Structure 1
Amino acid sequence: MATSGTAASATAHATSVVVLDRGNNTTCTINLHGATVVSWRVNNQEQLFVSKLASFDGKKAIRGGIPFVFPQFGPWSFGPQHGFARITRWNLERSPERLHNGDVEAIFSLMDNEFTRSMWNYQFRITYRLILREKELHFHIGVYNPSKDLSFTFNMLLHTYLKVPDVRRCQITGLHGCTFIDKTREGAIYQEGREIVTVGEWTDRIYQHTPQEHVITNVVSGRKMRLQKYNFPDTVIWNPWIDQAREMSDFGDDEFPNMLCVESGHVSSPVILLPGTAFEASQILQSFKCPKVTHDENELAKKNRSIKNKQVRDVGFWKCFDLEIQS
C-alpha cells in the first residue's frame, strides 16, 4: 500500500490521485476527478486503455480507464453527456487500507452540491468501494436517497475501457440471444445470434437483460478478462472505429484497435429510488492468462470435445480448461 491514513488523504488532496498497491507490481490508480480508475496493473501489465490525448484538466471527462456514469447515460438536456459524476471531484472517504488477506481497499463518495443541483435538483449520496486483489478488481456501489419526500430516477454505468492488442481479434461471450439497441443504426433493436461476439466496425450497442458474466478473450495474447456483475442488467459494447475516432479531440485517430469498451450498467431503463431507500450494484474484473500448450496437447484437446469450456486456437496453441483463479 503506497499511502495510508492522514498521509494518504493529504496526498490525494494535493495530487488528485489515489494509489492502491498490493505488491508484486499490482496496483490501481484512481483520479478523484470523476473517481475515474485510470490504471489497473496486474504483475505490471496494464489492463485498461487511456488515450494518449486524454485530458486531465479537471474539467473534461477522462478519456479511458473506468469513468463513472451517473445520473444519465448518453446525451442529457439538463447537463453534460453521461451526467456529472465523471466530471465532478469525489471525496476520498476512506484512505487505502490493507486487509488481513493482503488485499487493499479504498472508499470514495459523492454527495449533491451546488454544482450537481444546478442540473439535477435532488439529494443523493454515492459510496464507491474499490478492492484490489491479486488478479481481480472489485467494485461495490451504493446510491442512497436521503430525501423524506422526493423519489428520483437515474442511469448508472461503469464505462470500462479495456486495453487490447487488436480489437478485431477479441471475442466476447455471454451475449447470445440478448436483444440489443444498435445506436449506430438509429436505435434499431436486434437479437444477438452469435455465440461469440466480435467487433470489426463502429460498434455502439446496449445489450439488455444480459447474464451476470462475460469473458473477453484477446486471441493475440491469450489473455482473458472475466467480468462479473450484480444489479447491472445491461452491457454496453463500444468501439468508435476510425471515423468516429477522428471526431474526438481527446482520442487518437490510430488508437481504436487497442481498446474495447465492455460496460456494466443500468441504462436501458432507469432505476427508481424512493425516499429513504438505497440501490446497490457491483462488478468484478478478473484477469488471467491461458497457458500455452504443446502441439500434442493441442491435438488431444481437438479430439476431446467434451472438455468443459475448451478453447483451442490452431495458431499459437492457447488452452483454457475452465481455468479458475484462486485469490
Structure 2
Amino acid sequence: MSETENKSVEITKGVNGLEKIILREIRGSSAEVYLYGAHVTSWKNEQGEELLFVSSKAIFKPSKPIRGGIPICFPQFSNMGSLEAHGFARNRVWTIDTDPPPLLPNVTDGVFVDLLLKPTEEDLKIWPHSFEYRLRVTLGPGGDLMLTSRIRNTNTDGKAFTFTFAYHTYFSVSDISEVRVEGLETFDYLDNLKNRERYTEQGDAITFESEVDKIYLSTPTKIAILDHEKKRTFVVRKDGLPDAVVWNPWDKKAKAMADFGDDEYKHMLCVEAAAIEKPITLKPGEEWKVRQELSAVPSSYFSGQLDPSKVLQSS
C-alpha cells in the first residue's frame, strides 16, 4: 500500500462486515476494493459520481460472487471448462500483499493496494495447480483506475497449467438505449446467444436494443463507451488482453437473476478486457502480466459530431 500517512489508503469494514480498502486521491476521486474476491465495488470521479454499477440486490456473502463492480474471472471465463462459472478467484478472500516484487515499469504514480491469492487445499482439489496471483489496484492522479494482474505458476511437479481470464467490468450508464460502444467495428466475435458461432461485427458502433453477450476477438487496445445522456465517455485501455466481452442481460434474464433488479439492466453495461479465445499456458516459474486502465472522458467530447477515432487515439 502507499501513503497511509495521509489517509489515502484506509482499511475498513464494508457490507456484512467484510473487509475493504478505500483508495482516495487528493483531488477527490476514490475507489473501494473488497478483500473478498479482490473485488472493486466502487470507482468515483472527482465530483463523487459513481462510475461502476453494483446491483441493489448484490449479495455480499461468501461464497456468492458480488453482482457488479469488477469481478475477476480466473482461472476460467464463463462455463468454458470444468470449474464453476467464471472460476473461483472472485469467490475467495484475498490477502494484502505486504511484500510484492517490484512492478516494471513503475506504475506507482498514484495511490494503490497490492493483493495476493494463493490456492487453498480445497482449491487444489478442484484445480490441481499451485499459483500466485498478485493484483495491484491503482487510482491515478487524474482519477483513472488501473488493475495490474500477475499470475505465476508455482507448481513443483513440473506441470504447466492453462487458464482463461477476464476483468468483468460493469459500467454505470444512464440508459442502455442511449449508449454506444466504439472501437470494435469490423472485428470478429463469438455470439454466446448462438452457441458461440463466429460472426463479424457490422456497422459504425455497437448499440443496444436487446440482450447482448459477445466475445470480440483480437481487439484493439482501446475501446470507447459513449453515454449520450450523461455526456460521458469511458475509455478502456488494455495491455496483454486480446479479447473483449460485451454483455447486457436485458429484461428477461434480469428478472431471472436473484441478485439483479428487474430494471437494472437499463443502467449497466459490461465491457470486459479478456483472454478467452486462446487460453494462456504457463510453465512452472513463468509469469503472465496484464493490465486494464479505465478513464472517464468529460462531456467536451459530445458535440453531436463526435469523432470516435480521436477519443480512441488520444492518450
User: TM-score if structure 2 supplies the norm length?
Assistant: 0.88
Shift of 1:158: 0.2
CA–CA distance in structure 1, aligned partners of residues 261 and 153 of structure 2 = 39
Look up the match of 2:144.
136
2:231 is aligned with 1:228:
no
Look up the match of 1:252.
261
Look up the match of 2:102.
none
Q: Which runs of 4+ in 1 moved over 6 A?
A: 7-10, 99-102, 318-321
2:11 is aligned with 1:4:
no
* Residue range with higher mean Cα deviation, 24-33 or 252-261: 24-33
SS at match of 2:128: coil
Q: Is the 8 A contact 1:22 1:102 kept in 2?
A: no
Shift of 1:67: 0.3
CA–CA distance in structure 1, aligned partners of residues 80 and 308 of structure 2 = 43
Q: Which of residues 103, 110, 126 in structure 1 aligns to 2:117?
A: 110
Q: Is the 8 A contact 2:20 2:35 kept in 1?
A: yes
SS at match of 1:46: coil
- AA in 1 matched with 2:114: I
User: Kindly tell me: are residues 237 and 46 of structure 1, through their superposed partners in 2, closer, same or farther at Cα, counting changes over 3 Å?
Assistant: same
SS at match of 1:45: coil
Look up the match of 1:50.
54
Alignment of 1:237-248 (within 5 A): 237-248=246-257
Tell me how many residue pairs correspond in the alignment: 302
CA–CA distance in structure 2, aligned partners of residues 311 and 179 of structure 1 = 28
CA–CA distance in structure 2, aligned partners of residues 146 and 290 of structure 1 = 46
Structure 2 unaligned runs (5+)?
Answer: 100-105
Percent identical among aligned pairs is 30
SS at match of 1:117: helix
* TM-align CA RMSD: 2.9
User: TM-score if structure 1 supplies the norm length?
Assistant: 0.85
Alignment of 1:110-189 (within 5 A): 110-133=117-140, 134-148=142-156, 149-189=158-198
Structure 1 unaligned runs (5+)?
Answer: 292-309
Q: Is the 8 A contact 2:246 2:271 kept in 1?
A: yes
Look up the match of 2:69.
65
Alignment of 1:309-324 (within 5 A): 312-313=303-304, 322=310
Q: Is the 8 A contact 2:114 2:134 kept in 1?
A: yes
Computing the radius of gyration over CA atoms, which structure comes out larger, 1 or 2?
1
